[in-house]
């Protein structure tokens, strides 16, 4: 599965790569739309209740000033998810496609019991990549490690494994500033 995730990321389909990493297998279009809608709905409900959303818990360096932007992003994502579901639903109505309605019902039933069995590390890296690229921001490997709650003992080797994964997923890494050595 890591190879398929990296393949999707390399072709630029970051959202599909992220979803495969989260879920452990590829979803149908309707499963995909419903899953995204339910995730956004959950985050927006938590946000409105004054609770920390799942997205906020993975975002290091989040400040009070940047919170409104993240909340606006969540609201916008929820609205666009609902619109996408409505389009598919209306297309099914127009086409009198009873199979599509059954597919909706099966997808809802499937998602009630669905458990994430994917690659959490790659999923989180890809989710962060999507957000950072929208802002044109780059992170150091240390910032990424902090966001992923990586053990401090991994720092001794420069987070070598994490670096390899991040590079394969084209994560926007910023090189650490290297101080020039003094010449004698």
Whether the pLDDT of residue 96 is over 90: the answer is yes
pLDDT of res. 153: 82
Q: State how far the Cα of 3 lies from the Cα of 175, in Å rounded to an integer.
A: 25
Q: Is the dihedral of CA 167, 17, 161, 52 positive or negative?
A: positive
pLDDT of res. 179: 45
Percent of the chain topping pLDDT 90: 38
Per-residue confidence band for 60, with pLDDT thresholds at 50, 70 and 90: low
pLDDT of res. 12: 86
Residues ≥6 apart with Cβ < 8 Å to 180: none
Average pLDDT over residues 74-93: 95
Per-residue confidence band for 180, with pLDDT thresholds at 50, 70 and 90: very low
Per-residue confidence band for 176, with pLDDT thresholds at 50, 70 and 90: low
The DSSP symbol for 25 reads S
Whether the pLDDT of residue 178 is over 50: the answer is no
Whether the pLDDT of residue 177 is over 70: the answer is no
For residue 150, give Cα distances in angstroms to 70, 73, 101, 140.
23, 26, 43, 14
pLDDT tens across 116-140, in order?
A: 788 888 988 998 898 888 888 899 9
pLDDT tens across 7-24, in order?
A: 888 888 888 888 888 888
Label residue 106 left, alpha or beta by phi (over 0 means left) and psi (-120 to 50 means alpha): alpha
Query: What is the average pLDDT value for the chain, to the nearest integer?
Result: 86
Per-residue confidence band for 167, with pLDDT thresholds at 50, 70 and 90: very high
Average pLDDT over residues 162-172: 92
């Amino acid at each position: 599965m890591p190879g398929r995730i990296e393949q999707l990321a390399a072709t630029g389909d970051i959202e599909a790569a992220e979803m495969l990493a989260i879920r452990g297998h590829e979803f149908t279009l309707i499963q995909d739309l419903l899953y995204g809608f339910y995730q956004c709905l959950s985050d927006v409900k938590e946000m409105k209740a004054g609770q920390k959303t799942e997205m906020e818990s993975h975002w290091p360096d989040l400040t009070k000033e940047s919170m409104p932007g993240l909340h606006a992003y969540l609201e916008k994502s929820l609205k666009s998810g609902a619109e996408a579901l409505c389009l598919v639903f209306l297309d099914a109505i127009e086409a009198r496609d009873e199979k599509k309605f059954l597919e909706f019902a099966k997808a809802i039933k499937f998602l009630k019991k669905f458990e994430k069995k994917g690659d959490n590390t790659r999923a989180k890296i890809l989710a962060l990549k999507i957000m950072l690229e929208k802002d044109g921001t780059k992170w150091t490997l240390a910032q990424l490690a902090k966001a992923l709650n990586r053990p401090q003992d991994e720092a001794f080797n420069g987070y070598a494994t994490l670096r390899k994964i991040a590079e394969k997923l084209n994560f926007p890494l910023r090189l650490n500033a290297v101080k020039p050595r003094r010449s004698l």
